[in-house]
Every structure is written in C-alpha cells, then in structure tokens.
Amino acid sequence: MFAIEISCRLGFESREDDVMPKDVNPVTEPPHQSKQGALARTALVVSVVLLAAADLGAKTWAGGALADGHTVDLGLMQLRLGFNSGVAFSLGAGLPASVVLAITGIIICALAILAWRATRSATRTVRLALALILGGAVANFIDRATDGVVTDYLHTGWFPTFNLADVFITSGAVVLIVATLTGRDRTNVMGTPEAATRQARGPHDN
C-alpha cells in the first residue's frame, strides 16, 4: 500500500513537470502581450519625437519670419514672437535659467520613467496623453537649453503668449486627468501588473 502511494505521488509530480517545466516562470508575461508592450513603447518614442519636432519647427519658423516684430492675424489669435524665461505660460519667469532648466529636466526624467513603465499596460487614451506631455516638455527643454529662454509665438491678447509645446502639455494633462478620474485608467496610469492582467483578460473575463 505504501509503495502504491509513492508511485501515485511520483506519477502525479511527473505529470506536473510535463505541464509546467521547472525552468519556466508561471507568471511570465505572454509573448503576444510582451510584443504589444514593445510596440506601445516604440509608438510612444516616435510620437514624442514627432511632437517635439513639430513645435521646434514652428519655433524656428517664428524666429525667422516674425523677428522684425510684425504679427500675423489668425482671427482668434495672432502669431507674435516672444520669449519666456519661465516655465509654461511665463510661470517662474523670475528664476535663474539654470534653475528652471534643472527643474524641467528632473520633471521630464520622472515623466519619461512613468510613461515607459505605464505604456505597456495603459490604454490608448493614457498613451496619447503621456506622449503629448512628454513631446511638449522635451521641445521646450531643447529650446531652453540653447539660450536659456523658450520661444513663444501664439498670442491671444488675454493670455500669456505660448507655443505649440504648451498646447501639447496642457492637452495631455487634461486628457490624463479625465482618464484617471473615470476610474477605468486609474491603475493603468501607474503601469501595475494588475492593470496589465485586467487588460489581457478583457472586459468579459471578470
């Protein structure tokens, strides 16, 4: 009887080894999910580069076409060249350029780490928001690093002159806040394993 019990146990353990090899981690991310995460991160990087390039191109144009001080009337706003030594919308304009550059650099690094971790499990809405924020922040950082100021060219008359990068940052922040407050993307923003598991299962598997 004792021999039969040992044989049964050994047979059961052998079958378990066939199903789940010892060198395989049972919580390893599925290949298709890993591929989706890599594609999402690639899309994030490409989006950030394109958004930053769009704003830097507009700043280059404004620095040449509007350098003589003239404005271009667009109806609701004007194209008018201006320079901002502060952060977004002239905030912190009285701070030294090196301090502002250091602060924005730290913020960008933190955002980049958050975006890189969250992108694998975040929804498309959150990915878009993160790309907008990072794209605008990177564009302003590059512009500021050259001469200590940020080039602005969008003027409304009732609001501080701003640029396309500011629009990206503000729009991305609004989208991210709305997505987080809805509850659906609350955990996805942080890129937690629970969020990735929920997304892989789908809405009908809960």
Which amino acids are annotated catalytic? 152, 166
At position 69, the amino acid (one-letter code) is G
Cβ proximity of 151 and 140 under 8 Å: no
CA distance linking residue 112 with residue 106, whole number of Å = 10
Per the listing, tokens 């049972």 go with 26
Cβ proximity of 48 and 55 under 8 Å: no
Which pair of tokens denotes residue 172? 């991305």
Among 119, 104, 110, 135, residue whose Cα is nearest residue 185: 119
